[in-house]
Structure 1
Amino acid sequence: MVELGNIVVGSISYVLIFVVYKVWVSIWWRPKKMERQLKRQGVKGTPYKLLHGDLKESSEALAQACSSAMPISHSHSIAARAMPYVHRTVQKYGPCTGGAGSESSPRITGQGQGGDYLCPAGKVTYFWAGVTPRIIVADQEMLKDILSNKSGDFPKPDTNPLTKLLVTGFATYNGEKWAKHKKIIQPAFHFDKLKVMFHSIHGSCSDMIKRWEKLEESNASFEIDVWPEFLKLTGDIISKTGFGSNFEDGRRIFQILKELSDLAIQTFQSVYIPGFKFIPTKRNTRMKKLEKEFRDSIMEKINKRVGQSHNEDLLGMLLESNSEFQKLENSKNAGMTITDIIDECKLFYIAGHETTSSLLTWTIVLLSYYPEWQARARDEVLQVFNSGSKLDFDALNHLKIVTMILNEVMRVYPPVILLLRNSHKEMRVGKITLPAGVQIGLPILLVHHDRELWGDDVDEFKPERFAGGVSNATNNQPCYFPFSWGPRGCIGQSYAMLEAKLAVAMILLNFSFELSPTYVHAPSSTLVLYPQHGAHITFHKL
């Protein structure tokens, strides 16, 4: 009996020692090893702090940045407010002592005054997202290697399982599953399909214009916070074009996603502990309940389509394309499962909602601040549509000035300011060897405001940069990627631009506008770049 007891005690001791060893490796040995690998290559970053890394400092920097507004001016250097800890880390540690960035990056000429920018001699640095180093890469050679990679060497990160309750679907997949879903989904965004959606988008924009016209007072001017208005507009559009319903019918779905996104942001700001999702905390329970309610709602919509031929919205097109794929592969198991389709529907709602709302909001803010560009855009719209003739899909392609403006808005105020990738194995990228297990941050906002790439007027709003198109403005380099870049570029880019062009054109046809005296300039970022205190605009009926 004593011998058996000794064996049990010995076994327990061995297990405890093994667990302690694994914990020590994951929270200290491995992070310090990656830190040494990066330092040896001349890459600087914040010192590793046990377990939490820089999460506390990052949260404090964000809270401090959000505690005060900034003046709106001709210099739109917003990185210190929108992504304060990344900006601070790059400013402090950006210049390398060797490795990447030893050669000059391609330069886009320009004149004027600018704000803070990355040193051209060192565009790689890092800080700690818990126990994982997040390497901030703004070097053009490295960006091209990462964004153009077709072998799946830089997959989307494995997110906290709780955040997957919010963001799943095609954009989060890797490897064969990503390739299959792309093949099935892509037909829904073909040119001819967008043409079908045009009338629904036009109808939603018309409803918004009519609603605004009712707000007119006797002096024919009124004030609107356009951020919630555009959220409602894009919500109505994605409901119609996605599911054949409207914003009011889909209100509960948007409420679910809003609450889920708020809860997901809380999880982003904390260290993930394996197995934590199974603990029935108040937040965990609420997120799972909301996610189930969303799935039940979408499942109800799918069930209504069974046996129907309805391909005038994204859900119908997706079901049709999935069926065609199964026929082509001669297997019902070859396409997407019902769970996959529900996940793609969730992605439709999220990707087609706040990102376009952000683009529209900052476009109206900047056109309010730059009345000369507002006038030029309105003149173009009036000329293209002959002072009120019918708006149609093909005519939107002739809005060159409006397109220039939208491109420059996305350069200065990109809806998504950072992309994340993983390095699941040791990889040579540019002149740096990235350790396995690091997270890679591609700072869209910093690259878009890089003086070495865009010139001394980098922080100024100058739509003429894009007079010759995006390719000409960037010399075909990944220095402009609001919709990502390369094979993983946003599949819904044409859809978003159609929506934005039409909404802006209809607003310009009906109103002139300016910043309200109550407007407070406070660009902030959670899932997208948004105005922290709203975007109050004064409109005048034309």
Structure 2
Amino acid sequence: MEVDAAARALVGDVASPSPWSLLCVLAALLVLWASSHGAERCWLRPRRLGRALRAQGLGGTAYRFPTGDLTENSRLNKEARSSPMPPCHDIVPRVAPHLYNTVKEHGNVCITWFGPIMRVIIAEPELVRDILSNKSGHFEKFTNKRLAKLMALGLANYDGEKWAKHRRMPNPAFHLEKLKGMLPAFSACCSDLIGSWENKLANSGGSVEIDIWQEFQNLSGDVISRTAFGSSFMEGRRIFQLQAEQAERKIKAFQYIYIPGYLFFPTGNNRRMREINQEIEGLLRGIIEKRDALSRASGTSSLRMSIEDVIEECKLFYFAGMETTSVLLTWTLVVLGMHPEWQDQARKEVLSVFGKDKPSFDGLNRLKTASVTMILYEALRLYPPVVTLTRKTSKEMQIGGILYPAGTVVELPVILLHHNPNIWGKDVLEFKPQRFAEGIFKATNDRLAFFPFGSGPRICIGQNFALLEGKIALSMVLQHFEFRLSPSYAHAPYTVITLHPQHGAQIIIKSLE
């Protein structure tokens, strides 16, 4: 009996391992799985993809474990941003040095590496047109959803039925008649801007320096707040400040995004990004709930999507709306400061159409193919707000004779196509608004070589909003002031999601009267 009891005890000890032993086994299995997954993601798959595409004749950079081209890209960006450039429009080597060097060395279709993720740069207009038109239905938006959520998820980052649903809902808000109804809000905001500049001039010796980058960010923020929520800029100011900081922090996070689970690491940058996101969402939730309560009280409307979805769309509208227009206006005034002959021509046109009256909708339509519109287009060509777009294949596809596996990320470099001398001619780096005298398609010989707002079904829904605001603001500035670049201005375009002036955009303004 005693022997049987001892045997049972011994068997029991063998059959019932301690919790600590189980934990060690589980930890070992987890490490084994993570190592296997990491090896496949960061070593085996990149090498397999690279060999498959090189076998089809595609060139590009070699994969470097585990960061790909991120380290070199970071080094080149730091070097480019270390000093300003001459006041000219040859900005691609400074704005996107790695992209520029890669295409220069390997051609318009080539491989580069975003960490272990292969990206295929495609800078051929015909291929870009096919990808953006998405007639096959197999090109999706490529984005890191966790990182996008911290900035602005919304319509721009959805696919499939959710994208279609969210695209339909705001469409009516950007129809011609709705935009026409926004004109008084646009004009009021621009009048406030003009008034503040006149006040500064009144206390100066006839001219004053202004940083238009800050001024136009305030203007576009004011316009969005008034048109979207009926509030003043002061109510939205905190949101804009937070989103500007978030954009800078997002760029920092990009350098390490190839590390699995990096956004969950308790780094200072990650913690601050989550704090910013929570504060933005809290502010927007308050504005939306207040607006919805007023609508319910009057019986006019109610939310047609979840409040979380509305918050994401508002984050996107706030950021994209403010950034796009402020970038457009800033670079337009910079180039007009460099080219006073076009400033004079545009001013004559504006004064002949409006005199000193506020711009009207009908009058703005008369500027469609005139100097103001051509100037805005040429500024968008030379200084596109978004310098590159990305898409991802949802299935194995052939593009330009090369067979790509499902999940291939393609990069469409807007800025390279906008600066391509084979498309625009030898004067590609000159500011020549007359290129657009007969419209966009004649300027590009019907090729998709000008797409500052994207193209195809995913074209920016707010492009008419941005252009209308740009025309009104530019017209009113020209009505009241002449301007030139300040001696303190340093020409230094660089990207923080959109194309910013690194050291601001200082101009000297002088009243026309």
Q: Shared fold (TM-score greater than 0.5)?
A: yes
Superposition pairs of residues 233-248 of structure 1, within 5 angstroms: 233-248=219-234
Q: Which residue in the other structure is 2:247 paired with?
A: 261
Counterpart-to-counterpart distance in 2, 1:200 and 1:454: 37
1:435 counterpart = 2:408: no
C-alpha deviation, 1:12, in angstroms: 6.9
1:78 counterpart = 2:91: yes
Q: Match of 2:364, as an amino acid?
A: L
Superposition pairs of residues 128-527 of structure 1, within 5 angstroms: 128-159=113-144, 161-216=146-201, 217=203, 219-309=205-295, 320=301, 335-385=304-354, 387-399=355-367, 400-527=370-497
C-alpha deviation, 1:449, in angstroms: 0.7
Structure 1 unmatched ranges of 5 or more: 95-122, 311-315, 324-334
Give the number of the structure whose residues are more often helix, by fraction: 2
Counterpart-to-counterpart distance in 1, 2:16 and 2:39: 30
Counterpart-to-counterpart distance in 2, 1:448 and 1:503: 24
Counterpart-to-counterpart distance in 1, 2:45 and 2:498: 32
Of 429-438 and 514-523, more deviation after overlay is shown by 429-438
Q: Which residue in the other structure is 2:67 paired with?
A: 52
C-alpha deviation, 1:390, in angstroms: 4.0
CA distance 1:51–1:382, shift in 2 (3 Å): same
CA distance 1:62–1:10, shift in 2 (3 Å): closer
Q: Which residue in the other structure is 1:21 paired with?
A: 36
Determine helix, strand or coil for the equivalent of 2:500. Answer: strand
Q: Match of 1:292, as an amino acid?
A: Q
CA distance 1:39–1:4, shift in 2 (3 Å): farther
Determine helix, strand or coil for the equivalent of 1:459. Answer: coil
Counterpart-to-counterpart distance in 2, 1:393 and 1:340: 33
C-alpha deviation, 1:150, in angstroms: 4.3
Q: Which residue in the other structure is 1:104 paired with?
A: none
Q: Match of 1:156, as an amino acid?
A: K
Counterpart-to-counterpart distance in 2, 1:143 and 1:4: 63
C-alpha deviation, 1:375, in angstroms: 0.9
C-alpha deviation, 1:151, in angstroms: 5.0
CA distance 1:10–1:516, shift in 2 (3 Å): closer
Q: Match of 2:356, as an amino acid?
A: G
C-alpha deviation, 1:172, in angstroms: 0.9
C-alpha deviation, 1:130, in angstroms: 0.4
Cα pair 1:132 1:437 within 8 Å, conserved: no
Correspondent of 2:101 among 88, 105, 119? 88
Q: Match of 2:41, as an amino acid?
A: S
Determine helix, strand or coil for the equivalent of 2:168. Answer: helix
Structure 2 unmatched ranges of 5 or more: 1-12
Structure with larger Rg: 2
Of 60-69 and 213-222, more deviation after overlay is shown by 213-222
Counterpart-to-counterpart distance in 2, 1:52 and 1:361: 35
1:473-511 superposed Cα distances (whole Å, 9 cap, x missing partner): 123321110000111111001100000000000000001
Determine helix, strand or coil for the equivalent of 2:140. Answer: coil
1:32 counterpart = 2:47: yes
Q: Match of 1:444, as an amino acid?
A: V
Q: How many residues align?
A: 492
C-alpha deviation, 1:4, in angstroms: 6.6
CA distance 1:294–1:19, shift in 2 (3 Å): closer
Of 147-156 and 458-467, more deviation after overlay is shown by 147-156
1:280-325 superposed Cα distances (whole Å, 9 cap, x missing partner): 3333222222212211211111222235349xxxxx9xx95x76xx
Q: Which residue in the other structure is 1:538 paired with?
A: 508
1:90-148 superposed Cα distances (whole Å, 9 cap, x missing partner): 11222xxxxxxxxxxxxxxxxxxxxxxxxxxxx11121100011111101221112100
Cα pair 2:90 2:429 within 8 Å, conserved: yes
Q: Which residue in the other structure is 1:66 paired with?
A: 81
Cα pair 2:247 2:496 within 8 Å, conserved: no
Q: Which residue in the other structure is 1:112 paired with?
A: none
Cα pair 1:145 1:430 within 8 Å, conserved: no
Determine helix, strand or coil for the equivalent of 1:352. Answer: helix
Determine helix, strand or coil for the equivalent of 1:368. Answer: helix
Determine helix, strand or coil for the equivalent of 2:234. Answer: coil
CA distance 1:463–1:283, shift in 2 (3 Å): same
CA distance 1:166–1:152, shift in 2 (3 Å): farther
What TM-score, normalized to structure 2? 0.91
CA distance 1:262–1:390, shift in 2 (3 Å): closer
CA distance 1:513–1:10, shift in 2 (3 Å): closer
1:180-207 superposed Cα distances (whole Å, 9 cap, x missing partner): 1111111111111111111111111111
What TM-score, normalized to structure 1? 0.86
Of 82-91 and 274-283, more deviation after overlay is shown by 274-283
Q: Match of 1:297, as an amino acid?
A: L
Counterpart-to-counterpart distance in 2, 1:514 and 1:267: 37
1:351-376 superposed Cα distances (whole Å, 9 cap, x missing partner): 11112111101100111111111111
Q: Which residue in the other structure is 1:529 paired with?
A: 499
Determine helix, strand or coil for the equivalent of 1:295. Answer: helix
CA distance 1:388–1:30, shift in 2 (3 Å): same
Cα pair 2:126 2:447 within 8 Å, conserved: no
